[in-house]
Amino acid sequence: MGRESESGLPIEPVYGPHDLADWDPAQKLGEPGAYPFTRGVYPTMYTGKPWTMRQYAGFGTAAESNARYKELIAHGTMGLSVAFDLPTQMGHDSDAPIAHGEVGKVGVAIDSIDDMRMLFGGIPLDKVSTSMTINAPAALLLLLYQLVAEEQGVPAGKLTGTIQNDVLKEYIARGTYIFPPKPSLRLIADIFKYCKAEIPKWNTISISGYHMAEAGASPAQEIAFTLADGIEYVRTAIAAGMDVDDFAPRLSFFFVSRTTILEEVAKFRAARRIWARVMREEFGASSPKSQMLRFHTQTAGVQLTAQQPEVNLVRVAVQGLAAVLGGTQSLHTNSFDEAIALPTEKSARLALRTQQVLAYETDVTATVDPFAGSYVIEKMTDEVEEAAVELIARVEEFGGAVNAIEHGFQKSEIERNAYRIAQETDSGERVVVGVNRFKLDEEEPYEPLRVDPAIEAQQAERLAKLRADRDQAAVDAALASLRQAAQGTDNALYPMKEALRARATVGEVCNTLREVWGAYVPTDVF
């Protein structure tokens, strides 16, 4: 009996020329750095320099996270990737009742420009590339970053990095949304326009399949629903009056990398090919940079286990190798202890060392697209592409990603696949080393990193001092200007920036927008 891939596609024991009998290399492959970008978005890929090595970090206070960033930079990290705590992600201040118990837990707490100033203190923002995993309040965190850069004397034109800013996947798989879909898309269009004018090198959105995969999406579902969201964002920007070649080069994507190397490589190659075709044929993008699917990859946290956590070092190395062979532009490798708690300094360093071994001790960077022409990889690329295109077509039958979300389509499909995975794991059909096979009678003790619960009180004290010291009249006036822009059609980021400069808090700015746009309340349709 043959095996199946993670997407439920058959994997044959042997592949040969007959599997590619009608296969056209010129149409399917092209050259590296050229349409349809199957072989990678750059002609030389890693032969000139390796991918950007990012480490995702952020916990507790801004001061603690700042110390971790400096440590990572000292050990060779080329890009920072910021994790924010749940209150920040949901647009609530640390002293809000709803934030109780969550301050600083899964990321750093950022309530105002004071916190952002501390987070990046002593880090030259014209020298680092910073990725911020923030979605519904992405505009606020970007503007706070810009304001801190201005204080450092760094012009906005020199800032490089990414805001995730992908709210559609929040409705599908993650849940850290604030506003309903339509005003959320309007805010994203405002960000596109603002960055084109003010921060031209910034990647304005990282359209994410990672969280869908963590929720249980198959590789085919991951790229299908991610690209469908991308199509929705492109339509939104065009409807707002932007030319596709003005904003599309700044779009980027974010995918997971699992331990199933062959299908992951096929997935990345298929995603590039689909996106290139959609951008050229559907949207008329003429610039090659508009047709490229550039993406960041994170190794699969959902595959890490609390049992025998050191085994995760092997899993992460395999997952990182799959991402590199698939042609990622940047990579975050998870720490082996993340299934237990926040990574320790040592485990975060080991995760970075994993990437460095791949880049400097293996030969996978010596040639572009090592698997090109492989019977199995090319066949699997075609099959994953076909499955993903079929799912995108089903999303289009609803009228696009937003309408499909409102009907619960993507969420239902992902949950169905997650249930299949759980059944296979429970039955032992799907082997998870250390969990349902090769178990230990007794686990070795492990001391995880823990966040100090006093952080919540400390943040509340900082907020009280901020509100006492600031010019409240200036804050009120700036928030009134923001409210007026939100009610009309003016770009909301300009008055938002002035409110944040006046030391309005993240919660105050988001509450002002909630008053105008409302808050999203999910409904289960399926």
Q: For residues 500 and 522, what is the distance between their CA atoms, to the nearest angstrom?
A: 29
Q: What is the pLDDT of residue 81?
A: 84
Cα 262 to its chain centre, rounded Å, is 22
d(CA 103, CA 110): 10
Whether 209 and 226 have beta carbons less than 8 Å apart is answered as yes
147 is written with which tokens? Answer: 């304001």
Q: Are 300 and 320 in contact (CB under 8 A)?
A: no
Domain 39-427 in CATH 3.20.20.240:
yes
Can you tell me the distance from the alpha carbon of 213 to that of 254, in angstroms, rounded to the nearest whole number? Answer: 11
pLDDT at 344: 84
**Bridge partners (DSSP) listed for residue 55:** 80
Task: Give me the residues of the chain with pLDDT under 50, please.
Answer: 1, 525-526
Query: What pLDDT was estimated at residue 311?
Result: 97
Amino acid residing at 196 = K
Closest to 335 measured CA to CA, from 363, 361, 306: 306
The DSSP string of 110-121 is --SHHHHHHHTT
Of 404, 325, 338, 369, which Cα lies nearest the Cα of 32?
Answer: 369
pLDDT tens readout for residues 430-450: 999 999 999 998 887 877 767
pLDDT tens column, 141-181: 999 999 999 999 999 999 999 999 999 999 999 999 999 99
- Cα–Cα distance, 491 to 116 (Å, whole number): 23
Write out 24-80 in H/E/C secondary structure: CHHHHCCCCCCCCCCCCCCCCHHHCCCCEEEEEECCECHHHHHHHHHHHHHCCCCEE
Angle at which helices 261-277 and 311-325 cross, to 10°: 30
Q: In what order do the strands lie in the sheet with 251-257?
A: 202-203, 160-163, 129-133, 79-83, 52-57, 330-332, 295-299, 251-257, 205-208
116 in Cβ contact with 62 (< 8 Å): yes
- Cα angle: 405, vertex 4, 380; to 5 degrees: 80
Residue with token string 């349409």: 35
pLDDT of residue 1: 47
Among residues 243, 229, 260, 258, the alpha carbon closest in space to that of 388 is found at 229
Residue 524's pLDDT is 61
Calculated CA dihedral for residues 393, 399, 402, 404, nearest 10 degrees: -60
All structural domains of the chain with their residue ranges: 39-427, 472-517
Q: What is the pLDDT of residue 526?
A: 44
Count CB neighbours of 395 within 10 A: 25
